[in-house]
Structure 1
């Protein structure tokens, strides 16, 4: 079975507010063990978490060896104050504060650094991303600081401007990457960045009634086009489902993600090998140097 290259032990796939309430005062051990059991039952032995501000990912990493799981975590994600990211981490106002958070993550046992450079998909406006992306020069300096401290960088990023900035800055993995254009995809293919598309975060919503399918379907279709391009251009790609997000369960979420890849590209040995190579890149880079 493939590893899960993008998960959030904090979240439960059902109700974000209830999940946060459960952990707000102290990371809930039984909930974390339930999450780890789901991966164990799905025969997933590698998980890379996207972080949280409550210590849930850190607790999962400490308990994971009991379940035969190699669990990697940034401890918390880092965002610029006033921009998206508070739900999964801590914010900064200037690069000195960003550096301080990188050091803090390291002191708390981070395997890598997670940065937030853009907002989310705007499900009310197709093709739009919420908020304003960070400036390319700032992203470049953030990545440089993290690399200088010996960390690989995982970047939550959407939109053409944001993805180009992240790729040019040298992020080690690009999470989501919605709305890239072909030129940006070519940049990705020519880089060392591994793309983790998290397809099921949108695909699993179709038909559930939470958002209009007329908005969701074009997003999913564009993601399929980009995935075909990435495969054809031999970009580095790995499987991650964003497990814990709404309607993306821990354990089975990564199975759904692989099924999505197979539906789009075919269930072939070439696809399997491609994804195995992408996961190998993640495993080799995202640990303390």
Structure 2
């Protein structure tokens, strides 16, 4: 069974506000145990978290061995103040503040650094991301600082230019990577950046009534074509579902992501399976504190 290379243990797959409220008076360990039991039942033994601002993933790392789960976390994600990322992390206004946050991750035993370089997909409009990406020089300096501290970097990034620039800046993995183009894919390949598309987030919402199915289906088709192109170019892909996001349950999410990849790249394709397992191996090797 594949591991889960992108999860948020503090989220519940249904309601973000309710999930946060569970931990408003301190980390609710019952929630963590519940999610880990589900991963254990599904045969998932590796989970890489995307962090949170509540201390949940930090506590989860302590609990994970009880379930035979290898668990990695950045503790919290880091975003530029005024930009997307507050739902999972801490803000900075300048590079000194960013460097201080990186040092805090090290002090708290984080396994890697997660940066937020763009917004998210606009599910009301195909092809749109919710805000402009950070400047290339900012992203490059953020990656450099993290690498100097001995950390690998997970980059939450969407949009062709932003993905290309994050890869050029040296990000070790691109999370989501929606609306990439061929140039961005070649940048990921050439810089050995692992791409974790989390496309089941889109597929699982089709038919739920929350957003236009017409828009969601277009996003799914675009994402599917891009994954196919990335595979043909030779981009290193890995499976991660964004477990905990809306309609992406812990444990089941990674199975749904694998189903999406089989629909896109073909079932019973041993080459695809080995490629994805290799992507996971690279993540396990890189995304661990040194």
Describe the SS at the equivalent of 1:132. Answer: coil
Q: How does 1:77-96 map to 2 (within 5 A)?
A: 77-96=77-96
Runs of 4+ in 1 over 6 A off after TM superposition: none
Shift of 1:141: 0.3
Shift of 1:161: 1.9
Q: Residues 30-65 of structure 1: CA distance to partner in whole angstroms, max 9, x if unpaired? A: 001001111000000000000000010011111000
Shift of 1:25: 2.1
1:287 aligns with 2:288: yes
* Match of residue 214 from structure 1: 214
* Match of residue 236 from structure 2: 236
* Match of residue 278 from structure 1: 279
Describe the SS at the equivalent of 1:287. Answer: coil
Q: How does 1:57-96 map to 2 (within 5 A)?
A: 57-96=57-96
Shift of 1:219: 0.8
* Match of residue 44 from structure 1: 44
* Match of residue 170 from structure 2: 170
* Match of residue 257 from structure 2: 257
Describe the SS at the equivalent of 1:57. Answer: helix
Query: 1-side partners of 2:265 and 2:24: how far apart?
Result: 41
Q: Residues 121-175 of structure 1: CA distance to partner in whole angstroms, max 9, x if unpaired? A: 0112211100221001000000000000000000000011211110110100000
* Match of residue 152 from structure 2: 152
- The gaps in structure 2 that reach 5 residues or longer are none
Describe the SS at the equivalent of 1:87. Answer: coil
Shift of 1:5: 0.2
Q: Residues 89-126 of structure 1: CA distance to partner in whole angstroms, max 9, x if unpaired? A: 00000000000000001111100000000001011221
1:21 aligns with 2:38: no
* Match of residue 120 from structure 1: 120
- The gaps in structure 1 that reach 5 residues or longer are none
Contact 2:164–2:183, Cα closer than 8 Å, also in 1? no
Describe the SS at the equivalent of 1:279. Answer: helix
Describe the SS at the equivalent of 1:236. Answer: coil
Query: 2-side partners of 1:254 and 1:15: how far apart?
Result: 19
The total of aligned residue pairs comes to: 289
Query: 1-side partners of 2:283 and 2:199: how far apart?
Result: 18
Query: 2-side partners of 1:96 and 1:19: how far apart?
Result: 32
Q: Residues 194-252 of structure 1: CA distance to partner in whole angstroms, max 9, x if unpaired? A: 00000111110001000001111111111111111111111111000000000000001
Contact 2:154–2:171, Cα closer than 8 Å, also in 1? yes
Query: 2-side partners of 1:228 and 1:84: how far apart?
Result: 28
Query: 1-side partners of 2:219 and 2:144: how far apart?
Result: 32
CA RMSD, Structure 1 to Structure 2 (Å): 0.7
Give the TM-score taking structure 1 as reference length.
0.99
Contact 2:117–2:155, Cα closer than 8 Å, also in 1? yes
Query: 1-side partners of 2:25 and 2:190: how far apart?
Result: 45
Describe the SS at the equivalent of 1:79. Answer: strand
